[in-house]
Structure 1
């Protein structure tokens, strides 16, 4: 018997959600493990259900599909297929970064093709971990295209942003803006290739750097590595939940549940004083 791919579907439109389920239920290789109506439910579903594949609507109110990806811990990342009615420049970004998508209105042939590609990618070692850098690359490309559209032929692209350096803040350049993030407000950080996702109060800031470089900037007494690609500010840990095989989950807030691998379990034990 062929192993079925565990799939979570997300769309804020009830009709679109029902259509997606009806189409995927006819694909023998698919096992639908849940459905979500918004980004918050999607984040919870990915953590609790550990799907192999996520069919994710991009344009959702509140937490968009792209923001959902930023906030999923990279080491528990499922493969992703976006459903979208985006503009062509966004589709070009997905294509160039090998990010899967299907255009709305969704049809069965497009969905089946996406599932076939996902099954093939699951055979590749660490394919899930490769998903997040690809999507972040697409997001960066989309943001750049949007910025160019808004500039309307302005010629100040090459005006260099000032280099800022502080000991207590992390500098993040976002398009033509510079954010100074206070370290004590950063809740957790997720590495994805050459990108770092810094999570603060429900928002995610993406910085192009490496985990090693960022660790050198952080206060080592507060920020601890709990997975190969995840750093947590221990001041924000509200609850520790033991998991199987020496692993733990850290509850940081209402929606952030961070997995601690057994290789870093001593960090949790030291934190708990056990």
Structure 2
């Protein structure tokens, strides 16, 4: 029996690694390529023409439905959608996806998806991806993502931050955030004793946060001003902030006036 040529597409390294390690153990699978975003996926399908594609739905840039919409129907592989959300399951089957599996992933569930794909291939199913219905689905997904990326209160200020952590999307109220610091291209969000790492610039994050609650105290640090319990002056113009959870943060001279204004 010929093997299924498989492409896996996911922007999360942990999910990509799990799919890879699970699929290569299956005798029926030939893993031909991996992609980290929609553009790479489209290029891989055009070049390699895989039989089956494990496709993440929510990715930066192009979402999974937009990837399907962009592919040429004659080169369309069977699709297993992978996501942390369950609200698009019906849509996935409306466009004749082989399967729809939820994160966090488990090996048995991935194996069942492969079995479904093999059964469809063996039966020479006439089911093809219904590209015509994908446009409205991808538009709705884009709208939902914009709404969920920051629910707004009645005063127009976004109050929640979405953080993807090992395939699970966590919703963190801004009021729960103690402080944030930059780590390269990522931000470390410290909230309720936990640290969440997200890929966003400090400037982009500042645009999302409530300017009446958060202040920048250093070129790489933001603090929730309501967490500050004491301020200690330092020589040469700097100062130290002590937070209610015990962390001590340094305020650089360039941001001293911004911090002072919050307490006037």
TM-score by length of 1: 0.47
Larger Rg, first or second structure (1 or 2): 2
TM-score by length of 2: 0.49
